[in-house]
A and B are shown apart, each in its own frame.
Chain A
Amino acid sequence: MTVSRPMIEISGVSKSYHTRSGEEINALSALTVSIREKEFLTVVGPSGCGKSTLLKIIAGTLRRTGGALRLNGTTIEGPSRDIGMVFQAPVLLPWRTVEENALLPIELQRGDVQKHRRRAADLFDLVGLAGFERKYPNELSGGMQQRVGIVRALIHDPVVLLLDEPFGALDAMTREHMNLELLRICEAAGKTVILVTHSIPEAIFLADRVVVMSPRPGRIVDVIGIDLPRPRELEIINSSAFGAYARQIRSLIGARGSFDA
């Protein structure tokens, strides 16, 4: 595993807040983990374990208070062109069409919007949204809106894709379907992926490795390699190996954490 330099190096990253009364709260405490190129890493843990905070620090929208963070060998000190982010809510702009929403990163980074229309069309094909380019977000279902969010995250061809509980707001059936789609999309796009979730089955199903976190202060309990064959189908959830991983992660987090799905 030491063949190639890691894509993302997180070493000793911590984050602390000061409350209004001046009390210091450690949200993240000395996290260390490396992510290989084209690896699918999932981060699982109960609410309040700081997994979304970690993702925001990698995305550069939140400042870390300690430790080092490198992307492709370069220290991350803010938002980067090399990162595409999918948020918990789709966060689309309602006055823009689906296509205009997807092309927003190109516009913001002052790229050639016309040239990227072709790429947007390919990505809409990939996520199954071809023909919806001229619609407005409120004409789309929640799952479709989140697909637009995925196209937007991939439009500028970033090296790394970050997803913050992307399907948390969807119903269980749509969620399973979207997870399958996500695996297919990420394999086709060939990205390094970090996905945050509070669902243990989702974390195992998608991952090459699962980072298990515990709350207050947020820290990494263990990193578990998932040795399940790819491409993965939903039936794999019923396999004994899958069950063993789920039991292992559940026991790592302890009985205190509560989970759905």
Chain B
Amino acid sequence: MSVTGSALPRSRPRRRSRQIFGDSKSVALGLVIFVLVFGGWELVVRLLNVPALVLPPPSKIVASLFADVISGQLIADTITTGLEVLGGFVLGAGVGLMLGCLIGRFPLLQKTAYPYIIAFQAVPKVAIAPLILIWFGFGPSSKIVTAATICFFPVIANTLVGLRVTPADQIEMMTAFMASRSQIFWKVRLPHALPYIFAGLDIGIVLALIGAIVGEFVGATGGLGYVILQRQFSMDIAGVFAVLVILSVMGILLHELMQWIQRRVVFWLSENEDRIVGG
């Protein structure tokens, strides 16, 4: 991009047209890769006569997924798992954010309380999922708690990092205008931490999906994880893959949702980046 200011207005449409051109290129390449991967998969499975019990061809997976969508039999399970993920995410991320703010605001807690959180993180959550099942039962609450324990840590860790990176000159400015410690926290340190916090939330929401499925594997009466186990028992491998596709779509949607919220909350950052590119 040009460095001079006068080139700025002209560079905008040029950039946009290049983007559209770039987009059509990437769409074409995306299609090629798609055909190579799934066509290759279909071909290999059919040519080598791989049993559908081991690896079903994509066509069978699509057919199974299509049947699921038409019959609507997975709607209830999808909603169950979706609510577990959201519930677990809100709980885990909420607690992570609050504890992160508390520890970041009162540095004494960093040494006295944070080690316990690290120790908790070191325990594999999958390993405590059976305990959570005993404590919270076969209903959605045990899945919500399992999801919460998994997505909690990236949120608290990113919150703490974000609260540490406040530029010194902004703190000095606040001090010169007689800000209290809590004013510096709420008006400068926390807004500055938001991009980091959102990075943590983005990781956290996908981890919450893993947590909900793990919870359903350990013991459940519904949900997509439960359906996977059922179909595995009945050797419906194409059906298992169909559920995996649904889970993957769900993960992408949740990620996109976080990105969408981030762009609205941390609005000043994207504008900044635009300026750097345009200028």
> When the two chains form their complex, are residues A105 and B178 in contact, meaning their CB atoms are under 8 A apart?
yes
> When the two chains form their complex, are residues B170 and A105 in contact, meaning their CB atoms are under 8 A apart?
no
Interface residue A59 (Cβ < 8 Å from any Cβ of B):
yes
Q: State how many residues of chain B have any CB contact under 8 Å with chain A.
A: 21
Interface residue A109 (Cβ < 8 Å from any Cβ of B):
yes
> When the two chains form their complex, are residues B176 and A59 in contact, meaning their CB atoms are under 8 A apart?
yes
Show 21 residue pairs from A and B whose CB-CB distance is below 8 angstroms, ordered by the A residue: A61-B172, A79-B175, A81-B178, A83-B176, A85-B176, A87-B169, A87-B172, A87-B173, A88-B169, A89-B169, A93-B188, A94-B269, A95-B191, A105-B177, A108-B177, A108-B178, A108-B187, A109-B177, A109-B178, A138-B271, A139-B271
State which of B170, B183, B271, B275 has its C-beta within 8 Å of the C-beta of A108. B183
* Chain A residues within an 8 Å CB radius of B268: 94-95, 136, 138
Interface residue B267 (Cβ < 8 Å from any Cβ of A):
yes
Interface residue A91 (Cβ < 8 Å from any Cβ of B):
yes
Docked pose: A108 CA to B187 CA in angstroms: 9
> When the two chains form their complex, are residues A93 and B187 in contact, meaning their CB atoms are under 8 A apart?
yes
B→A interface (CB under 8 Å): 169-170, 172-180, 183, 187-188, 191, 267-269, 271-272, 275
Docked pose: A105 CA to B178 CA in angstroms: 8
Docked pose: A46 CA to B168 CA in angstroms: 23
A-B pairs under 8 A by CB, number: 57
Interface residue A60 (Cβ < 8 Å from any Cβ of B):
yes
* Chain B residues within an 8 Å CB radius of A91: 169-170, 172-173
In the A-B complex, the 9 residue pairs with the closest CB atoms: A94-B268, A105-B177, A91-B173, A85-B176, A108-B179, A79-B178, A95-B268, A59-B176, A61-B175
* Chain A residues within an 8 Å CB radius of B169: 87-89, 91
Chain A, residue nearest B180 (CB): A108
Secondary structure of the A contact surface, majority rule: loop
* Chain A residues within an 8 Å CB radius of B267: 95
* Chain A residues within an 8 Å CB radius of B275: 138
Docked pose: A103 CA to B53 CA in angstroms: 69
* Chain B residues within an 8 Å CB radius of A104: 177, 187
Residues A107-147 near B (CB distance < 8 A): 107-109, 136, 138-139
A→B interface (CB under 8 Å): 56, 59-61, 79-81, 83, 85, 87-89, 91, 93-95, 104-105, 107-109, 136, 138-139, 152
* Chain A residues within an 8 Å CB radius of B271: 136, 138-139
* Chain B residues within an 8 Å CB radius of A89: 169
* Chain A residues within an 8 Å CB radius of B177: 79, 85, 104-105, 108-109, 152
Chain B, residue nearest A79 (CB): B178
Chain A, residue nearest B175 (CB): A61
Docked pose: A134 CA to B146 CA in angstroms: 45
Instruction: Give the one of B178, B188, B191 with max A CB within 10 A.
Output: B178
* Chain A residues within an 8 Å CB radius of B269: 94
Chain A, residue nearest B266 (CB): A95
* Chain A residues within an 8 Å CB radius of B179: 108
* Chain B residues within an 8 Å CB radius of A88: 169
Docked pose: A107 CA to B180 CA in angstroms: 11
CB distance from B194 to the nearest CB of A (A): 8
* Chain A residues within an 8 Å CB radius of B175: 61, 79
> When the two chains form their complex, are residues A61 and B176 in contact, meaning their CB atoms are under 8 A apart?
yes
CB distance from B226 to the nearest CB of A (A): 44
Docked pose: A147 CA to B188 CA in angstroms: 21
CB distance from B28 to the nearest CB of A (A): 35
CB distance from B81 to the nearest CB of A (A): 36
* Chain B residues within an 8 Å CB radius of A61: 172, 175-176
Docked pose: A59 CA to B187 CA in angstroms: 21
State which of A80, A108, A139 has its C-beta within 8 Å of the C-beta of B174. A108
Docked pose: A83 CA to B188 CA in angstroms: 21
Given contacts A136-B271, A138-B271, 18 further A-B contacts (CB under 8 A): A79-B175, A79-B176, A80-B178, A87-B169, A91-B172, A91-B173, A93-B188, A95-B267, A95-B268, A105-B177, A105-B178, A107-B187, A108-B174, A108-B179, A108-B180, A108-B183, A108-B187, A152-B177
Docked pose: A95 CA to B270 CA in angstroms: 11
* Chain A residues within an 8 Å CB radius of B188: 93
Docked pose: A61 CA to B178 CA in angstroms: 9
* Chain A residues within an 8 Å CB radius of B173: 85, 87, 91
